[in-house]
Amino acid sequence: MRLFFAVLLPDDAIEALKRAQEELQTTINEGGISWVRPHQFHYTVKFLGETTPARARIAIEAAEAIQEDLVPFRVTLGGLGAFPNRERPSVVWVGATEGGEELARSAQLLDDRLGQVGFSKEKRPFTAHLTLARIKTYAGEVAAARLLKTAHWGDLARVQVDRFVLMRSTLHPTGAEYTVVDEFPFRGDTGC
């Protein structure tokens, strides 16, 4: 099974992202752009890829082991970015204008723990991002790059992050379908 850890969003944040995505869709109307369905918006914390049931159990135990070390925090969704860069975008995303450091620290803690039990460690630094679109053609790339030069988004929504989820991704011809496998509420002391 294909697995990843993620932070899911509440409905109001999904609605705000959906409106922002619709604004992009009216600006970039070239073909060759695959728009993420709003109910699939999430922050990927750690991608595991194809995983056997036995390895999935080990990943779950690793996530459970760090729950006491994680405290809830807030993330403000905002800013528009692209991978690999704004000049040659293959992915267009919304970042985190606040709380990105906490999300990165939480992702690092999970990555470190998973590394201790045999999963591959991330080679690139963590970038908090919510994918809005994947660019499939050169025409789409040119249009997205043009938009990224002029688009400046402010904050879209603010969310409380108080858990990771382990998601299963099942690939279909119409796109991926995501299912929650397990949840890991943050149980660390907030000091209040």
pLDDT for 38 equals: 96
Q: Is 39 a catalytic residue?
A: no
Q: Average model confidence (pLDDT) for the chain?
A: 93
CB 90 within 8 A of CB 84: yes
| Residue 49, Ramachandran bin (φ over 0: left; ψ between -120 and 50: alpha; else beta) | left
At 61-92, the pLDDT tens digits run 999 999 999 999 999 999 999 999 999 999 99
Q: What is the DSSP string of 36-77?
A: PPGGG-EEEEEEEEE--HHHHHHHHHHHHHTGGG---EEEEE
CB 110 within 8 A of CB 63: yes
Q: What are the Cα distances from residue 27, in Å, to 24, 43, 109?
A: 5, 24, 39
| Residue 32, Ramachandran bin (φ over 0: left; ψ between -120 and 50: alpha; else beta) | left
Domains of the chain, residue spans = 2-185
Peptide bond into 38 cis (omega under 30): no
Residues facing residue 126 across a β-bridge: none
Tell me phi and psi for residue 49, to 5 degrees.
Answer: 80, -155
Q: Which of 39, 42, 152, 172 is catalytic?
A: 42
Three-class secondary structure of residue 79 per DSSP:
strand
Confidence of residue 191 (pLDDT cuts 50, 70, 90): low
CATH number of 2-185: 3.90.1140.10
pLDDT for 28 equals: 80
Q: Which of 39, 129, 152, 172 is catalytic?
A: 129
Peptide bond into 53 cis (omega under 30): no
Q: Is 152 a catalytic residue?
A: no
Confidence of residue 170 (pLDDT cuts 50, 70, 90): very high
